[in-house]
Amino acid sequence: MKKKKSIKPKVDRKKQLPKQEYDKLKFSAYELVVVLGYTQKRTAETLGVTEQTISAWAIEDDWKGQREGRQQDYKTDVANVKQIIRLTSKRRLELEQEIADVQKTGNEEEEIKLRKQCSTIGDELSKLTKTLAGLEKDNKYTLGEFINVMDDIFTNMRQFDEDLFVKTIPFQTYYVRKRTQELG
């Protein structure tokens, strides 16, 4: 009588990486997703890890928030407020011209309505100007600027001394998280 061979299913076990290699891989994923804007899927394919792993890292370290922080910084805020001020001022000037045109027709009711609109826009411009002054005064640097500077430092460290870079990955993670919470 022949013995039946038991066929064991092939089990794919996770490969345990040494801590330094794991940290290096995670930081590379961070750079691809947060700094370079790769999708999680593309990052997973590039690095040879699962999308679930990339997703877990992204959630754990708030990569979405960090990525948004990089895109929105003080200079962008100031530029946006200045643009709103320009557009609002333009509308105010248009209303002034409409008032002049209505005065020629003698339509007092329409003139009053347009003057109220001008008054509202004047208030809005005052608030926007105050907001702009506050932005320029209070924000010495933003989270986005901080992260850009730190990325530059660590990228150059990596090029200068790869071993030193790998040794500092836990510090990098700690410090960026700490400053993210402070500047957030």
Distance CA(180)–CA(184), nearest Å, equals 5
Using one digit for the tens of pLDDT, what is the confidence trace for 91-121? 988 999 999 999 999 999 999 999 999 888 8
Please tell me which residue, 84 or 2, carries the higher pLDDT value: 84
Cα–Cα distance, 85 to 130 (Å, whole number): 11
| Banded model confidence at residue 21, pLDDT cuts 50, 70, 90 | confident
Distance, C-alpha 27 to centroid of its chain? 18
pLDDT band at 6 (very low <50, low <70, confident <90, very high): very low
CA distance 105 to 154: 68
Choice between 145 and 93, residue whose per-residue pLDDT is larger: 93
Q: Which of 142, 118, 122 is nearest to 130 (CA)?
A: 122
The pLDDT assigned to 7 comes to 46
pTM for the model: 0.43
d(CA 29, CA 34): 8
Does position 14 have pLDDT exceeding 60, yes or no? no
